[in-house]
Every structure is written in structure tokens, then in C-alpha cells.
Chain A
Amino acid sequence: DTEVTQTPKHLVMGMTNKKSLKCEQHMGHRAMYWYKQKAKKPPELMFVYSYEKLSINESVPSRFSPECPNSSLLNLHLHALQPEDSALYLCASSPRQGSGHQPQHFGDGTRLSIL
């Protein structure tokens, strides 16, 4: 069981669809992260939110749009995705963004397939 909850667990969408991924944590963490993991590859950082504000965008295409409505919730809005965007999308949280001595805690991800 993880303390970071991601929904849905699986998502299949067409290239013209709009969908959203949701992530929730109730550990009082003020930093939240989105990672992308392609098959048989390590996770790669996409976005970092610190105190509900976007602080890091790792040059992610604009068809991925993150949102942090409150300190417990993180969304990733998807629009006009490409087949190569099929991957496992992982959410993580940590007490603060620069807390290098404190671990990030991950959810189990949303497995996204683009048709």
C-alpha cells in the first residue's frame, strides 16, 4: 500500500481525446512531482510543484498540462497525445522541494496507452 494514490490505474485514449490523471496524498507534503516511465526504462522527471506552484518543467511538451488545485492534489491534463506518449505516469511527493535528505514517496502510477 502506498500513501500516494493515483487514479485511474489504467487509461486508454485516442489521440484526439482529453483526459486527466489524478494524484492525491495526505501526508502534508508540500512538494509533488510527475514522472514518466517508458517500458523497461527508469522514471524520468517531468514536473515539480512546490507549495502548489509549478517550479520545474523539464521541457515537457505542452500537450501535458499539470495543475495543483491544493496541497493534497495534483492533476496531469492530457490533450492531443501521440502514441509515443504511452507510458507509466508516476506521481511522487516529499515534505519540501529541496529536501534532499528526505525521500520522495511514489504512487503506483497510471498506465497510459494512446491508440
Chain B
Amino acid sequence: DAKTTQPTSMDCAEGRAANLPCNHSTISGNEYVYWYRQIHSQGPQYIIHGLKNNETNEMASLIITEDRKSSTLILPHATLRDTAVYYCIVRVINDYKLSFGAGTTVTVRA
């Protein structure tokens, strides 16, 4: 039973911002939103996570709506190397479980 809904695929232009949406309408107060990505032939790479506040790091920004039912991952200046499957995951605060859904296949085009 999927806890998140993401578009199957999306394209974005190199050098532009990429905005990746995720719906998690049944999220609980004790669940984080995590984002990972998986570049072809590599393992999943941690990007960012948040509970209710917006977060930013050197890779991306995470915007979580006030009701926490959806979020957007922003890659500020997409490059060809950002082409990957992006996974939005809802994870209980003290749980070991990291349950991957189908993810969004993002293709960055020159």
C-alpha cells in the first residue's frame, strides 16, 4: 500500500530548476518525508528529508505544504547528471523501514 504518489516521469531542461511533486495525503505527525535518487547502475543516493519545515542543502530544496499532505523537491539548476529515478518516501521517525515506491523517472535534456 503506497504512502506516496509521484508522477511516473518528467523531463526538464538543463540549467533550469526541476520541481518534483509528491503527494502524501495520509502522512502522520510522526512521519518524515525523505527523498532519494538512483542514477542508472548506482545505489540510491540520499538527497534530503524534512518533517514540517522547508529544508535546503547543497543538493536540493524541499518544500512541504503547511498541511503536510504534499511536498516538492527542487533541483535549482538541473544538469545532465541529475537524470535519475527520484523516490519520495514517507518514514516513521523511529522506524527502520524505508519503503520505496515506484518513483519519478527524471530526464534532463540539453
Contact = CB atoms under 8 A, between A and B. Distances in A.
Interface residues of A, number: 27
Residue of A48, A56, A103 contacting most chain B CB atoms (<10 Å): A103
B49 A103 contact: yes
A98 B96 contact: yes
21 contacts: A2-B42, A2-B43, A4-B43, A6-B43, A31-B96, A42-B102, A42-B103, A43-B44, A43-B100, A44-B100, A90-B43, A92-B43, A98-B94, A100-B32, A100-B92, A100-B93, A103-B34, A104-B46, A104-B98, A106-B43, A108-B43
Given A42-B102, A100-B91, A48 B43 contact: no
Contacts, number: 59
What bracket does the count of chain B residues touching chain A fall in? 20 to 34
A99 B46 CA distance: 15
Given A42-B100, A99-B94, A100-B32, 15 more contacts: A6-B43, A31-B96, A33-B96, A42-B101, A42-B102, A55-B96, A92-B44, A98-B94, A100-B91, A100-B93, A100-B95, A101-B93, A104-B46, A107-B43, A109-B43
B105 to A, nearest CB: 10
A88 to B, nearest CB: 8
Nearest to B89: A42
Given A42-B102, A43-B100, A106 B93 contact: no
